[in-house]
Amino acid sequence: MKLIIGLAFVVILGALASAGVFMLRRPREGDDQDGRSHMARALTVRIGVSVAVFLFVLLSWFMGWIQPTGVPLKPI
């Protein structure tokens, strides 16, 4: 479970980094829309993976694969 979520986190950070590179890279002559489309695709991948991880965590909780532990409370 931790491995899957960790790999998804790496993919999310990679997509965010590539979108940043596409945003900062100067477009070549005649390629005005190309950089924007690459950036939009990278951000779409990031959002899609984030939603998939959220749904996977919900499914895992529903199936009983993970259990919420909460935050332990200290007595006052």
Q: Which residue has the tokens 């005649």?
A: 30
pTM metric for this prediction: 0.72
Confirm whether 75 is domain-assigned: no
Confirm whether 68 is domain-assigned: no
State the residue range of the domain holding 31: 2-63
Confirm whether 26 is domain-assigned: yes
- Report pLDDT digits (tens) over 48-68: 999 999 999 899 989 988 888
Confirm whether 73 is domain-assigned: no
Give the integer Cα–Cα distance in Å for 8 and 13.
9
Give the integer Cα–Cα distance in Å for 20 and 15.
9
- Report pLDDT digits (tens) over 2-44: 898 899 899 999 999 988 888 888 666 665 566 678 888 888 9
Residue 51's closest CA among 63, 59, 41?
Answer: 59
Contact (CB, 8 A) for 67 and 58: no
